[in-house]
Amino acid sequence: MAEATSIVTESSTNNQQIGKKVQKNDLVTFVEEKLAWMHAMMCNLNLKVKYNDQHIVKLESKGGTNEGLQGEVQGALNMVIMDLSKQVKALDVAIVAKDLKLNACKSKLKALEEAYEELKTQVKLCMIAVANGVAKQVTSTLKVYGSKPSTYNGVRNAIEIGNFLPGLETYFGLIASRRRNKR
């Protein structure tokens, strides 16, 4: 039995070592592939740099043909600069106008704050006066007594309607004057 367990343990350790070797081989292969890819990319970039250097040399050797293009580009840039300077001036004017409006609003706000504080102190004084009993004066209102108009019984008689309507108008007139006196 002891031999069987030693064989099993030996075979499992051998399998683990083989697994580690396979993992190491995979890692080495992966790194080698990445290095090859990096080398190819570097070669490609070197070719592009050489091509661009050659192209720059060709453009520099022509020299005189680029002056016309340079003049056109300079003219276009001058137009853009002029347009931008006009826009900047317009924005400066708008900012000044906004600043003036802002200052006006600030002064109005300050005046309103002062008025608020004044009203606040007046309300406090009124509350103190009411608490002390100074404002216990009662204003009397003029009461108007008038007779209520008789109710309309629904008869279609011109004389009764003619008598009912003026009484109704008088009653509402008295009520309106009583409300005006209360204010």
Distance in angstroms (rounded) separating the CA atoms of residues 122 and 114: 12
- Nearest residue to 152 (alpha-carbon basis) of 170, 137, 164: 164
Residue type, 121: T
- Segment 2-6 mean pLDDT: 48
- Segment 127-143 mean pLDDT: 63
Q: Looking at residue 116, what is its pLDDT?
A: 92
| Lowest pLDDT segment from 5-19, 52-66, 153-167, 168-182 | 5-19
Structure-block tokens of residue 93: 């004017």
In the chain, where are the structural domains located?
139-183
Say whether pLDDT at 17 is over 70: no
Taking the CA atoms of residue 167, residue 171, residue 172 and residue 174 in that order, the dihedral angle to the nearest 10 degrees is 140
| pTM metric for this prediction | 0.32
Distance in angstroms (rounded) separating the CA atoms of residues 67 and 64: 6
